[in-house]
Amino acid sequence: MALVEISKYKSFGGFQKVFSHKSKILGCEMKFGIYLPSQIEDKKLPVIYWLSGLTCSEANFIEKSGAQRYAQEYGVVIVNPDTSPRGLNISGDKDNWDFGEGAGFYVDATEEPWKKNYNMFSYVTKELIEIISTNFNVIEGTQSIMGHSMGGHGALICALKNPGLYQSVSAFAPICNPSKCAWGRKAFEGYLGPQETSNWSDWDATELVKVYNGPPLCLFIDQGAADKFLQEEQLLPNNLVEACKIAKVPIILNKREGYDHSYFYISSFIGEHIKHHSGYLQK
């Protein structure tokens, strides 16, 4: 697959790059960021995929997370795609900040006019992994996934729906039970159809853990206690914790007093997450 290098900056000894390519699954040009530590010149490295939240592009994580220094320290590649198809001019795709462009929700849409292009789940779990494995000096099949908010939801469902594909999963302030919150219901109704006639539980981490049947997988969840979206019941981490207890799926919930939903919060703890994943990836 032809990649076009958009930008390249040296950072902590490695290189932060952005590439574009024509996506077969999404039917449009997509961009992704990739941080390549200096060690990649001498050996293959494992990969961590980062999925961003509502309204974000590939730029937010690159510019605000501070992840590059830890990726260099632990010798891992970090890949972060955009959050939706763009430039398709589908009717309604720019009308709302929480639906359409910048809000693909990491599902495979089944409803018109979205089902032809809004298939971020397949893009992240299939096409993007193939692109990275083919074009960069990475260890094939050795990858983890993490994300924030809508992207935390995405990371959780990507891991739970593909047992064994990722060595580990973590999430900052994820939308844990989307079928029970306003953001999730809006997205699912639009992309998947009415709850009565479509299986929303197939795209909801809290429901997926109840039927998870795969290799051992610990869910590592990070949540700011001062997050306004936690208080507005958009995130619902306790629902996921209770479902994990019943299903005997291990879960770690770190509550961070005083921290909100922003990248100031993410940058404060991103090093812990990369260290966590590195422990699984280096085994």
Would residue 149 show up in a list of annotated catalytic residues for this protein? yes
DSSP 124: I
- CATH number at 23 reads 3.40.50.1820
Instruction: In whole angstroms, give the CA distance from residue 199 to residue 260.
Output: 32
Around Cβ 202, how many Cβ atoms within 10 Å? Answer: 14
- The residue range of the domain holding 250 is 4-281
For residues 33 and 80, is the Cβ–Cβ distance under 8 A? Answer: yes
pLDDT exceeds cutoff 70 at 199: yes
- Residue in 277, 176, 158, 179 with CA at minimum distance from that of residue 235: 176
CB 189 within 8 A of CB 181: no
57 as an active site residue: the answer is no
Residue 1 has pLDDT above 70, yes or no: no
In the chain, the number of structural domains is: 1
Q: Catalytic: 153?
A: no
How far apart CA 51 and CA 64 sit, in angstroms, is: 14
Q: What is the pLDDT of residues 33-85, one digit of tens each?
A: 999 999 999 999 999 999 999 999 999 999 999 999 999 999 999 999 999 99
- Strand-strand pairing, 28-36 and 14-23: antiparallel
Token digits for 203? Answer: 């795209």
Annotated catalytic residue, options 84, 108, 227, 273? 227
Choosing from 261, 273, 276, 277, which is the catalytic residue?
261
Q: Of 149, 168, 170, 278, which is the active-site residue?
A: 149
